[in-house]
Structure 1
Amino acid sequence: MTPFELAAILLAGVAAGTINTVVGSGTLVTFPTLLAFGVPPVTANVSNNIGLVPGSISGAIGYRRELRGQRARALRLGLASLLGGAAGAVALLLLPDDAFSAIVPVLIALGVVLVVVQPVLARRVAARHERAGTERPARARWVWPAVLGTGVYGGYFGAAQGVLLMGVLGLGVDDDVQRLNALKNVLAAIVNAVAGLVFVVAADVDWRIVAVLAVGSTIGGQLGARVGRRLPPWALRGVIAVVGVVALVALLLG
């Protein structure tokens, strides 16, 4: 691999780390870049996954202020992400490509819709509980299995994993969108890390690509945290929706 190609991969890693921290879908930058330079698809997918793990961790650290008071929530939902990420990674190694990819566009579209309509749905849920004289629960019961399912998807491929997570958390967890975005970064980091461990053991990894992406995504994670926390809730939701639509179109056309 030439110095030019490595430099391009480094820049793609920075972009992916930034996008993943703010929204998700950074894989849609790095994965096509690797394919364009002739890296085999499976090797590109697993090397990309491992290389972006430091970026996810960097983004979570950058959002540490918004994570305060969410320890119990992160541990509970983190277990779902851990199990889902491991299952998704194993699925990537065992199943044919078409077995899972057919539902990916549907999942991304669902995530975008959930993010867009979340404020309206949240107000309706709160109003219903107010009429009934009860408090709105801080977390819906379906959130844990939904995070598990998102983890399976993230371990398998991961593009727009953040969009799906924000859709689930925004609808099912009663909290500020920036705090949910911080939690999203932790859950995505868990998924990517456990999937990466599976790939290290059982897949063909290009460690040169991993090293370059790791450096770039770590830088991008810090940039993304600075940008993301400055966005008002409506703008953050708008960015998530736009990136989700771009991800959907890219996958359908690809």
Structure 2
Amino acid sequence: MSPIVFVLLVVAGFFTGVVGFVTGMASLVSYPALLAAGLPPVTANVTNTVAMVAVGVGSTANSTQELLGRGPKLVWWAVASALGGLTGACVLLLAPEGTFEAIVPFLVATASLALLAQPVIRKHVAERDFPRLVPISIFAIAIYGGYFGAGAGVIFLSLILICTKETVWGATILKSFLLGIANLVAAVGFAVFGPVHWVATLALAMGALVGGWFGPPVVKLIPPEVLRIGVAILGLGLAAWLLLE
């Protein structure tokens, strides 16, 4: 890999970190960047997952106070995300190529529409939480996150806003944390068994770590409703792109 390509991947990693935290669609920046750098699709996929751990590390390091005090609930959610990420990594490494691709655009589109309709949905469910549904759903979403991941943050965000009483800010923090857990566990499997391009991983992760750190302050500047609607619209765009790809 040439020095110019390395530097460009670092820059792409920074924007990946910011975009990933703010919108949950980090792969929309990083995955095409890796393909443009000449990596084959499967190598780009596993390299992207390993590098995206840096986004979670950066953003969590800058939002620790918001995660503290959530008690056993957060631990159970983290365990569910870890198990899902591990399952997704196994599917990617062992299942036939293209196992989930056909349904991915519809998953992302459904989550985006649910995000748009979140105020109406929460109005009908009043102040109820869904303590049993949430960890099961986190596990399922993390499987997709470990397998491919494009738009997984949107799905996490939609789940948390609809099924809990979290604010947009809190849901954004939790989304990044849970996705980071899923990516971390999947990354361990990919590091041992997957075709990771380590130079590309280093470049992307360097930028993503800094970008993830800047993510929480950026989100604080965006009005919650603007953020929710913006993420939903971008999610629909991502779904269309994945469908036509």
Please indicate the TM-score interval, normalised by the length of the shorter structure: over 0.9
Q: Write the letter of the residue equivalent to 1:153.
A: Y
Question: Contact between 2:24 and 2:175, CA under 8 Å: does it hold in 1?
Answer: no
Question: Contact between 1:18 and 1:223, CA under 8 Å: does it hold in 2?
Answer: yes
Q: Does 1:215 align with 2:214?
A: no
The structural deviation recorded for 1:246 is 2.3
CA offsets 1:5-31 (integer angstroms, 9 cap, x no match) = 111111111111111111211111111
What is the TM-score of this pair, normalised by structure 1? 0.92
> Highest CA radius of gyration, 1 or 2?
1
The structural deviation recorded for 1:230 is 2.2
CA offsets 1:107-158 (integer angstroms, 9 cap, x no match) = 10111011111111111211xxxxxxxxx43334211111111000000001
Question: Contact between 1:21 and 1:60, CA under 8 Å: does it hold in 2?
Answer: no
Q: Which piece of structure 1 moves more, 14-23 or 60-69? A: 60-69
**Map of 2:9 onto structure 1:** 9
Partners of 1:72 and 1:236 lie apart in 2 by 28
**Map of 1:41 onto structure 2:** 41
Question: Contact between 1:169 and 1:180, CA under 8 Å: does it hold in 2?
Answer: yes
The structural deviation recorded for 1:71 is 3.5
Q: Identical aligned pairs, as a percentage?
A: 36
**Map of 1:143 onto structure 2:** 134
The structural deviation recorded for 1:190 is 0.3
> Which residue, out of 164, 175, 182, partners 2:155?
164
Q: How many residue pairs were aligned?
A: 245
What 5-or-longer segments of structure 2 have no aligned partner?
none
State the Cα RMSD in Å.
Answer: 1.3
Partners of 1:221 and 1:197 lie apart in 2 by 20
Question: Contact between 1:86 and 1:194, CA under 8 Å: does it hold in 2?
Answer: yes
> Which residue, out of 245, 248, 252, partners 2:236?
245
Three-state SS of the structure 2 residue aligned to 1:150 is: helix
Mapping for residues 60-99 of structure 1, pairs under 5 Å: 60-99=60-99
The structural deviation recorded for 1:65 is 3.3
What is the TM-score of this pair, normalised by structure 2? 0.95
Partners of 1:228 and 1:57 lie apart in 2 by 17
Three-state SS of the structure 2 residue aligned to 1:137 is: coil
**Map of 1:132 onto structure 2:** none
Q: Write the letter of the residue equivalent to 2:79.
A: L
**Map of 2:175 onto structure 1:** 184
CA offsets 1:164-217 (integer angstroms, 9 cap, x no match) = 001111111112121111111110110000000000111111111111111100
Three-state SS of the structure 1 residue aligned to 2:195 is: coil
Partners of 1:235 and 1:73 lie apart in 2 by 28
**Map of 2:100 onto structure 1:** 100
Q: Write the letter of the residue equivalent to 2:102.
A: A
Q: Write the letter of the residue equivalent to 1:139.
A: F
Q: Does 1:57 align with 2:48?
A: no
What 5-or-longer segments of structure 1 have no aligned partner?
127-135
Q: Write the letter of the residue equivalent to 1:37.
A: A
Partners of 2:230 and 2:62 lie apart in 1 by 19
